Structure 1
């Protein structure tokens, strides 16, 4: 029975690691885009006048930038944790539940933002978030079952 819990936890952790790798890569590109917007490097684009360029640059607030950079770092850290946890689970070592809870929190936060800015594309993000939440929830449940006092 314990072997099945380890196996399913390891599989979910591997899927999370792969998905978080993809998310981390997209967040890195978002961070670069944010840097380009903040630096005003878009001034050389044809067809965009200075007034439009100023509006674009000013639309990016410090808080927006901070959130993008913070999420990028957080997703990178969580990705590394998932790969480390996957190797530990292969060896039969119990891992912490905290990163899984952080993943769930980030996805719920993303869903709330998607609901507030609802578009047809947001529905895809919400469904994707639900899948990630389920993938993070199964290891948490299994890790509670695998605890010596559980």
Structure 2
């Protein structure tokens, strides 16, 4: 495949659609925890606010300043994180990392939509941006739940 074909595959219409429609972009007024994560290589950032009740995410807000791949990941996370336990969020994060670095299985539901990012496996310089939302969410849950 040529480099142009690879880039077209990487930035699929599904990834671009997710990046264009990120849910929960409003920051929370009174979060239980706020975590900001930055990908040093590209400068992408994601700030996550969340609250917990009964060990589950009760509310979630995010500020996303990332490439289309980081935005797509934040879109999937924002759409599905409310109601999740820490174990579910951690399992999603860990599976996403394995999917990107070791061709592991698709992350478990409710984060299985992250499968759309599988073509980014060969672009190690994009992995940190893709991981931002789940890394920040796990850290925030550890602090708030």
TM-score category by the smaller chain? 0.3 to 0.5
TM-score by length of 1: 0.34
More strand, by proportion: 2
More helix, by proportion: 1
TM-score by length of 2: 0.35
Task: For CA contacts below 8 A with separation 6 or more, give which structure has more relative contact order.
Answer: 1
- Greater Rg, structure 1 or structure 2? 1
